[in-house]
Chains A and B, each alone.
Chain A
Amino acid sequence: MDSILLARIQFAMTIGFHFLFPPLTIGMSWILVLIETLGWKRKDEIYIAAGKYFGNLLGLIFAVGVATGVVMEFQFGTNWAEYSKFVGDIFGAPLAAEGVFAFFLESTFLGLYIFGRGRVSKGVHWFSALMVAVGATISAFWIIVANSWQQTPAGYIVRNGRAELTDFWTAVFNPSTLPRFFHTVDASLISGAFFMAGISAYLVYRNKGGEISKKTLKLTVIFGLIVSLLEVFPFGHEHGRQVAQTQPEKFAAIQGLYTSQSGAPVALFAYPTDHPPTLKAPIEIPGLLSWLAFGDVNARIQGINEFSKEDIPPLFLTFVSYHNMVLLGIYFILITAIGSYLIYRKKLFENTKVLKILIWSIPLPLLACQLGWIAAEVGRQPWIVYKLMRTRDAVSVTVSSGELIFSIALFFIIYLMLGSILLYLLIKKIKKGPDQISGKEALS
């Protein structure tokens, strides 16, 4: 196998596995800020206990996020040396900024948040929860800055055989940074909400954790509904419009628009095939895509046929992953809306069917995150930096196929192991439920 494909497999595997954890930690940490605020301000023992329980789960997940994140920081150098040389003047800065502004913050305050209870005042302890959430979010910002620059590079000039920075802020706030930042962070909030809602639903279902699980379930289902709605409008919509304007090849691929047309339809369902690219059995709403992308039902949208063959991304994977992500997004609204309605009618805790659905929905936002990320990254191909550098020119020339096979096997085994142990421990800890609030604790 050629080393380009191997390097891509390794990157996809390591980023894919890593990307299970940041959405969870970002989402959970913000919900924990909410819970800790309620616990602190209202002196509510139930929220304080909920904070402890989910705080410990956060610590466990965070550790695996850290472990797999270390790989990412160095992998550009080890596996993508030609890329690193070409973009180093621009791409390194956000990674360093992430360390300085974000990663120090979240790591340092997570230690205080989990182990500092009782050592510092309640206010400082609350502040540590806030700093974990702020740090995790700033971290997402700088990583998305770096990745967005690959999607829509700006603020640079190609000189001396590399991309050189001409304007720092133009590079940071390149056309796709903000739409992608909001879209991704909101996806993280959904992931956190579903994770905590599912666990709470399980505990309620099993009659564990008493008021602790009931209160968290209510909070996270309603929170989940709000963030799921926001993900469709405005965040998802804005990101879609941005892609339509800045990366027409990607837009055509994910939407399955294979021939340019005015009044382009949204394909609700279809099965894409190659040679020539066609959508089989499509269900379409005419004009909707043109209207969503450009605010005009008659707007002309470029199809795949307008681009030269060597510039178009893989069509099947992008279409399928994007459409399933959207489908999941709609499902998130539906299930949280049903949950919220049942909360309003005070019937959620007895409705075992909905509780069970919430339990089984835990992994779905993470799946949606993976699908969205695949659509974004595969949709950028064949470029590693859009219109600037092709992926095939970016790998390390000194790393052999043998070395790559070794490291892929290594990471595969390690990640399989970490993933299974984490899952085992999480399930064990979830089944155990939160510690009951003892009389002594309630008094102190």
Chain B
Amino acid sequence: MIDLNIAWFLLVGVLIIGYAILDGFDLGVGVLHLFTKNEDEKRININAIGPVWDGNEVWLLTAGGALFAAFPIVYATVFSGFYIAFMLLLTSLIFRAVSFEFRKYMDTPRSKKWWDLAFGLGSLIPALLYGVAIGNIMNGVPIELRDGKVVSSITFFGLLNPYSLLIGILSLVLFTMHGAIYMTLKCEGSQRERMVDWINKAWIVFVILYILATLATFFNAHYLFSGIISNPLFWIFFVILFASILYIPIAVYGRKFGLAFLSSSVMIALMILLVALSLFPRLVPSSIDLASSLTIYNASSTPRTLTAMLIIALIGMPIVIGYTIFIYRVFKGKVIITHDSY
């Protein structure tokens, strides 16, 4: 039976998945930008995401707003607990957001270089930090419930544990690969061949890291596996995930880049769904005492707010998805540099 709290668990999940798929390739392109030398190719990178990156980032802002509205205790506890990490993330996103426009209007190659760096690092750091954040959530954070109040003893350096860093590197490689696959749809010639090369190499690293991460999770956060092994949903997700990972190099080898991108998107969605399924109904597990975890029930807003928000989401999101598809269709195909381009 799906109640309101479960519905909002799913909806926040959908927003995070939407963000990871859409801004995921933006971030990946940014990481690849750090390794791009040629000015024409750099411009193709930027213009490949130029018209859409801003809309993509709104998925993050909306996920943040939805988390605040539906699970305020999680919003308050995690964001204040991860304070310094958040400031790093915000700094990266600020520099990234202005880098395209600032770069466009800079005259000299040297001043443009600084904004290339801002775009690159502003993408690399978030791609890494999202993984570190998810790693810490899966690992559990030091929070306790005392008299109905959350008491947290999270420290910045506590967040940088080896397990979470492993998940961070995994997400960095994942988004880089996703970005390279997106770029194959947007560029041609030698640049595209280099992207194919990136995909193949990143795929191998990704598979190794994913196996390592799964093993590490099994030993490190064993509770995540209890219960879900017997859940048929887990096996369905697992099979689709497995198939989509395997299909990426096949599609790339057959030069079916559109299908490779679809496959990569499905893969990202399934990875997040698997984490969500194993966490459920917890949102922030406690590393001190699992019974002290924040769950979709003890950290949520009232049914009235959840209902109002559900109506807002059900009216608003189909429209958003509608015009997002429209925009992507308008800018479909290879990048064409014009007078208005970055």
Cβ proximity bits A60-91 to B, threshold 8 Å, 1 near / 0 not: 10011011111101101111011011011111
Question: Does A101 belong to the interface (CB within 8 Å)?
Answer: yes
> Which one of B33-41, B76-84, B270-278, B281-289 is at the A interface?
B76-84
User: Are B79 and A93 in contact, CB atoms less than 8 angstroms apart?
Assistant: no
Cβ proximity bits B64-85 to A, threshold 8 Å, 1 near / 0 not: 1111111011011111110110
Known contacts: A73-B64, A95-B68, A96-B66. The answer to whether A165 contacts B316 by CB under 8 A is: no
Known contacts: A85-B72, A406-B87. The answer to whether A112 contacts B309 by CB under 8 A is: no
User: Are B301 and A63 in contact, CB atoms less than 8 angstroms apart?
Assistant: no
Complex CA gap A95/B58 in Å reads 12
Question: Does A59 belong to the interface (CB within 8 Å)?
Answer: yes
Complex CA gap A63/B302 in Å reads 36
Complex CA gap A91/B75 in Å reads 12
Question: Does A97 belong to the interface (CB within 8 Å)?
Answer: yes
Question: Does A396 belong to the interface (CB within 8 Å)?
Answer: yes
Question: Does B290 belong to the interface (CB within 8 Å)?
Answer: no
B204 CB contacts on chain A under 8 angstroms: none
Question: Does A259 belong to the interface (CB within 8 Å)?
Answer: no
Complex CA gap A79/B341 in Å reads 38
User: Are B80 and A119 in contact, CB atoms less than 8 angstroms apart?
Assistant: no
A78 CB contacts on chain B under 8 angstroms: 79-80, 83, 86-87
B64 CB contacts on chain A under 8 angstroms: 73-74, 77, 95, 99
User: Are B91 and A100 in contact, CB atoms less than 8 angstroms apart?
Assistant: no
Cβ 8 A contact of B61, one of A73, A81, A410: A73
Chain A residue, CB-CB nearest to B72:
A88
Cβ 8 A contact of A93, one of B57, B83, B305: B305
A429 CB contacts on chain B under 8 angstroms: 105
> How far does the Cβ of A102 sit from chain B's closest Cβ, in whole Å?
9
Cβ proximity bits A104-137 to B, threshold 8 Å, 1 near / 0 not: 1101111110111111100000000000000000
Cβ 8 A contact of A99, one of B50, B65, B86, B106: B65
A97 CB contacts on chain B under 8 angstroms: 65, 312, 316
A105 CB contacts on chain B under 8 angstroms: 320, 323
Complex CA gap A166/B330 in Å reads 44
B154 CB contacts on chain A under 8 angstroms: 398
Complex CA gap A63/B61 in Å reads 15
Complex CA gap A87/B76 in Å reads 11
B341 CB contacts on chain A under 8 angstroms: 115
B102 CB contacts on chain A under 8 angstroms: 63, 421, 425
Question: Does A9 belong to the interface (CB within 8 Å)?
Answer: no
Complex CA gap A166/B317 in Å reads 25
B202 CB contacts on chain A under 8 angstroms: none
Question: Does A428 belong to the interface (CB within 8 Å)?
Answer: yes
User: Are B97 and A111 in contact, CB atoms less than 8 angstroms apart?
Assistant: no
Question: Does A168 belong to the interface (CB within 8 Å)?
Answer: yes
B309 CB contacts on chain A under 8 angstroms: 93, 96
Complex CA gap A107/B317 in Å reads 15
Chain B interface, DSSP helix/strand/loop, else mixed = helix
B320 CB contacts on chain A under 8 angstroms: 100, 104-105, 108
A425 CB contacts on chain B under 8 angstroms: 101-102, 105-106
B83 CB contacts on chain A under 8 angstroms: 78, 396, 398-399, 403, 407
B66 CB contacts on chain A under 8 angstroms: 92, 96, 99
Cβ 8 A contact of A111, one of B52, B305, B312: B52
Question: Does B308 belong to the interface (CB within 8 Å)?
Answer: yes
A101 CB contacts on chain B under 8 angstroms: 312, 316
A73 CB contacts on chain B under 8 angstroms: 61, 64-65
Complex CA gap A288/B136 in Å reads 61
Complex CA gap A293/B302 in Å reads 38
Complex CA gap A86/B304 in Å reads 16
Question: Does B93 belong to the interface (CB within 8 Å)?
Answer: yes
Question: Does A164 belong to the interface (CB within 8 Å)?
Answer: yes
B52 CB contacts on chain A under 8 angstroms: 108, 111
Known contacts: A70-B94, A108-B324, A168-B304. The answer to whether A96 contacts B72 by CB under 8 A is: no
B106 CB contacts on chain A under 8 angstroms: 425
Find residues 392-444 in chain A having any chain B CB closer than 8 Å to their own CB: 396, 398-399, 403, 406-407, 410, 414, 418, 421-422, 425, 428-429
B61 CB contacts on chain A under 8 angstroms: 69-70, 73, 99, 103
Cβ 8 A contact of A100, one of B77, B86, B312, B331: B312
Cβ 8 A contact of B331, one of A69, A76, A99, A115: A115
Cβ 8 A contact of B79, one of A81, A108, A165, A403: A81
Cβ proximity bits B293-318 to A, threshold 8 Å, 1 near / 0 not: 00000000110110011001100110
Known contacts: A97-B312, A112-B51, A407-B87. The answer to whether A92 contacts B62 by CB under 8 A is: no
Complex CA gap A110/B51 in Å reads 8
Question: Does B200 belong to the interface (CB within 8 Å)?
Answer: no
Chain B residue, CB-CB nearest to A97:
B312
Question: Does B340 belong to the interface (CB within 8 Å)?
Answer: yes
Complex CA gap A206/B76 in Å reads 53
User: Are B105 and A84 in contact, CB atoms less than 8 angstroms apart?
Assistant: no
> How far does the Cβ of B318 sit from chain A's closest Cβ, in whole Å?
10
Chain A residue, CB-CB nearest to B336:
A119
Chain B residue, CB-CB nearest to A100:
B316
Complex CA gap A91/B203 in Å reads 43
Cβ 8 A contact of A92, one of B68, B304, B313: B68
User: Are A111 and B105 in contact, CB atoms less than 8 angstroms apart?
Assistant: no
A168 CB contacts on chain B under 8 angstroms: 304-305, 308
Chain A residue, CB-CB nearest to B47:
A115
Complex CA gap A254/B20 in Å reads 47
Known contacts: A67-B97, A111-B50, A421-B102. The answer to whether A77 contacts B55 by CB under 8 A is: no
User: Are A410 and B91 in contact, CB atoms less than 8 angstroms apart?
Assistant: yes
What are 30 A-B pairs at a CB distance below 8 A?
A60-B105, A68-B94, A70-B61, A70-B93, A70-B94, A71-B90, A73-B61, A77-B64, A82-B76, A88-B72, A90-B305, A92-B68, A92-B72, A92-B75, A100-B313, A104-B320, A104-B323, A111-B50, A111-B331, A115-B51, A115-B341, A119-B331, A120-B330, A161-B148, A165-B304, A165-B305, A166-B304, A398-B80, A407-B84, A407-B87
Besides A63-B101, A66-B97, A110-B54, 16 new A-B residue pairs in contact (Cβ under 8 A), listed by A number: A63-B102, A67-B93, A68-B94, A77-B64, A77-B75, A77-B78, A88-B68, A95-B64, A96-B309, A100-B313, A104-B324, A108-B52, A165-B301, A165-B302, A165-B308, A414-B91
Which residues does B use to contact A, with CB under 8 Å?
A: 50-52, 54-55, 57-58, 60-62, 64-70, 72-73, 75-81, 83-84, 86-87, 90-91, 93-95, 97-98, 100-102, 105-106, 148, 152, 154, 301-302, 304-305, 308-309, 312-313, 316-317, 320, 323-324, 327, 330-331, 338, 340-341
